[in-house]
Chains A and B, each alone.
Chain A
């Protein structure tokens, strides 16, 4: 349980810090984060007895057990050591950041990200499931991105963050793929199972695939060559971030993973070559590059890369003692490098620059910081009596040993000594250039002084740790290291001794050569380094960064543009043509493959009346297709004809519900399009008469496509209709409709009861569409040539104006007088009819949809008959309320079933005796249907009224614009 708390606590703290964003207090967020980090540290420390000497703490929570995914947290000695590192250095970093961050920065945001990062990092080390591990792995990438780009007004920070995210993100993706392969090989994602099946993994044909993918993940994260270049660019982050993420913890995640999976993956020749080459190249190149950096943090970043390369090299050797040295060096590096970063941060903070060409002679001003930095860089250089020396000795000892005999292995002692000499040179340079030499002359802040007491405390603490571990290793880190080693190596735990003096032996001689050689190297290069440009000679213009940017531009810009220009079009017609052609092929190809033969046509049983109706229908459809370009009204009328044919077909073929719905919907659709025609300017047949050849061929192609689609549908539907209808789910509904749904109209029972949830979704769609139409029309600007009054009204107005006995508007008022009076009288009749349709719906054709649209027609007729103003003076329809009530009613009816312990939308039905009327069916589905009814009324009326209102709005717009035009 403590494990869950340990992982969740930092995330909770992170959320809490976001709440503090609105406060002005800078200290509050820091204190809270400090408390969270400290409690995590105490919790981790308290777990030590349980993990000592190979013990393990484990907790399993089910996540997706079907897929073998569980939230498994486990802590063993190694994870404990890392958790201590994360929480311990986390505490120190929070303390340091409290003083480092300036007044203007949004501090709570910083601490929020930092804590979330800490939680993700703890998640990585504590994951007992490899998929969970990769989830936390991604989280660290994301929070690292957010932390690097913390000063997002700074372009370098944004670029560095983006680069870090791209590289580690690609790595994380490969890692996930690799872990999936690994899980596939083992048959389980559980870490313990994976670790115990090392032989099975190494013998599997997919071993190399998994290895390469996992290595890409680990090497990108740990900034190994050739993926190293993101780390120096990440130095645009605030220094506490560099100290914490980019030296102590996140970049260690890669090597952590290599150690974690060491029992499962290592020991093969592939492992040795891949990991070894990456490690050795990183070791030597990182150290070489570090010497030539002018930026303090750049030097430290390359040095970090080099040290990570050292750890990777140790891990590649596959010998248990090397693994011990790797774990030990991870800890040592974290302590001295974090303290050096913080020292660099203090120097930057006090002097305003990190450029070593401008810094010099600071020892006078910063004696304590200077001393601390000297001890820490001595540890980095591997000077005896410090922790870096001991692990470096172990490395040299391992380098001398022969592992897998190859050129790489034979080279290793020399490469190691050379890298050691480089690291001595850059450490010396760091100290000598910054703290010694002449007085600084051009510092941005001229009078540097020692930082506050507590800002220096983290460095003091870590430097003390370097000393203690360096002098009495077996008494200080010894037992903890032993627990970690046992948990990784198990029975293969080797004999090793932690001491700074092993007598005069090869490693000691190598160390001495490195120390003297490094000092000599610095003495030679000193003058060149004081003046040279940033970056090493020879490699200055060949950065991985440049290659990365080139690739990024090519892939995301050039290729994307090329593909877009080749594959996509912004024109609608080609797209629709493709859709239609694809639809045709999707229908034809499977049928052809299945050996489909068209049914012979049977002419015998054609009903002449039905055929005659369809002759009209076909004529209407073809006519609409022919007329839609120039004669919109004619096309609309013909479309209505096709609709009526459809409606009659429904009646003919035993679908009364459909017929009613089709009829009323046909009416509102026609009215809708008529209202729309008002805003579509006339198309003149005279323009656009010159038909080019390409247009002609386009038309011919479309015509062919249309004819094929029509022919296909004809053949296909004819075949289907002549098939016997299979006994599907129809009989189920027919049998249960009355028994369980309490209704005789099976279609309605399906809609409101059996498939009620579908209907619920459909009315929600209807509501959304209605609201969208409403919203679109609120900002509607019609075409300029249709703002004028329509032609008919102009003629009528002119007629009024010509005759003295008539006043303006008389003709409009009298227009269609008789029909409009009838429409007004029809109002109650239609409403009654709508309610009738609705009420009978459960047993006879009708129902909520048909009733609702009919009700909407009743309102609509008043608008048509009297005009918008007249209707709204007398009627206040609130369509939005109708819709809201409808949706609520449907949902509440559905939820009502919960009260009786049934699933959502279970209905109950019975007959209720009402005086004078008799037995009335009263299923709870009726209320659901009432909801449908109400929503359909609201949505339909809302759409139509919103469109109808445009004529009034435009009237106002005209009146507003007229004076303006006169003024002009």
Chain B
């Protein structure tokens, strides 16, 4: 379980970092999204990975068996804010494309 998840986080991070280093704005936006998945999963995983131990209080369930709810709360708002920043970046991307006529991140094609 831990192995698979951490491998997944590693792959998403690697893909994300690769993409944000690329010259095209759309690549960067996809890269940022992938990075945010990886980071969210990482923060979430810090609270421990357990199945069937959701932090929902019920009679007769020992709270010591539950997962840590704090990373969940952190990640939940991060997901929503992540959507907002993606939207903002997308709009900046479109405006930059319209203004500069290129989708290079610097607003102009790099001299060869």
Interface residues of A (CB under 8 A from B): 570-573, 576-577, 580, 601-603, 605-607, 610-611, 614, 617-618, 621-622, 624-625, 628-629, 632, 635-636, 639, 642-643, 645-646, 649-650, 652-658, 661-662, 665, 668-669, 672-673, 676, 679-681, 683, 690, 692, 702-703, 705-707, 709-715, 717-718, 720-722, 725, 728-731, 733-735, 737-738, 744-747, 750-751, 755, 758-759, 762, 765-766, 769-770, 772-773, 776-777, 780-784, 843-845, 849, 853, 936, 939-940, 943, 947
Closest to B69 in A: A746
Contact of B24 (CB < 8 Å), options: A606, A629, A706: A629
Report B42 CB to chain A, min CB distance, Å: 5
Chain A contacts for B76, CB-based, 8 A: 657-658, 661, 747, 751, 849
What would 9 A/B residue contacts be, using CB atoms closer than 8 Å? A573-B21, A573-B106, A576-B20, A617-B8, A655-B44, A657-B72, A665-B79, A706-B15, A766-B80
| Cβ B80 vs Cβ A849 within 8 A | yes
| Cβ B57 vs Cβ A628 within 8 A | no
Closest to A852 in B: B80
Report B40 CB to chain A, min CB distance, Å: 7
A580 to B97, CA, bound (A): 25
Q: Would you give the 0/1 interface string for B75-105, flagging 1 where the beta carbon is closer than 8 Å to chain A?
A: 1110111111111101111110111010101
Q: Would you give the 0/1 interface string for B39-61, flagging 1 where the beta carbon is closer than 8 Å to chain A?
A: 01110111111111111111000
| Cβ A629 vs Cβ B68 within 8 A | no
| Cβ B42 vs Cβ A580 within 8 A | no
A844 to B54, CA, bound (A): 10
Closest to B84 in A: A769
Contact of A601 (CB < 8 Å), options: B3, B9, B26, B67: B3
Chain A contacts for B10, CB-based, 8 A: 710-715, 717
Chain B contacts for A735, CB-based, 8 A: 63
Report A585 CB to chain B, min CB distance, Å: 14
What is the interface size of chain B, counting residues whose CB is below 8 A from a CB of the partner? 88
The 6 tightest CB contacts between A and B, nearest first, are: A710-B14, A714-B10, A706-B18, A718-B6, A625-B15, A725-B48
Closest to A850 in B: B76
Chain A contacts for B8, CB-based, 8 A: 614, 617-618, 645, 649
Report B105 CB to chain A, min CB distance, Å: 4
| Cβ B18 vs Cβ A702 within 8 A | yes
| Cβ B11 vs Cβ A621 within 8 A | yes
| Cβ B55 vs Cβ A747 within 8 A | yes
Chain A contacts for B57, CB-based, 8 A: 734, 737-738, 744-746
Closest to A603 in B: B3
Interface residues of B (CB under 8 A from A): 1-24, 26-27, 29-31, 33-34, 37-38, 40-42, 44-58, 63-64, 66-70, 72-73, 75-77, 79-88, 90-95, 97-99, 101, 103, 105-106, 110, 112
| Cβ A669 vs Cβ B83 within 8 A | yes
**Contact A658-B44, Cβ < 8 Å, known A717-B10, A750-B69:** yes
| Cβ A654 vs Cβ B37 within 8 A | no
A738 to B69, CA, bound (A): 14
A655 to B88, CA, bound (A): 28
Report A911 CB to chain B, min CB distance, Å: 15
Contact of A750 (CB < 8 Å), options: B50, B73, B106: B73
A690 to B66, CA, bound (A): 56
Closest to B45 in A: A721
| Cβ B98 vs Cβ A602 within 8 A | no
Chain B contacts for A622, CB-based, 8 A: 11, 15
| Cβ A621 vs Cβ B34 within 8 A | yes
Report A959 CB to chain B, min CB distance, Å: 19
Report B96 CB to chain A, min CB distance, Å: 10
| Cβ B30 vs Cβ A624 within 8 A | yes
Contact of A714 (CB < 8 Å), options: B9, B23, B31, B79: B9
| Cβ B21 vs Cβ A783 within 8 A | no
Closest to A721 in B: B2
Chain A contacts for B53, CB-based, 8 A: 654
| Cβ A711 vs Cβ B14 within 8 A | yes
**Contact A679-B94, Cβ < 8 Å, known A730-B69, A734-B63:** yes
A751 to B77, CA, bound (A): 9
Closest to A660 in B: B76
| Cβ B4 vs Cβ A614 within 8 A | yes
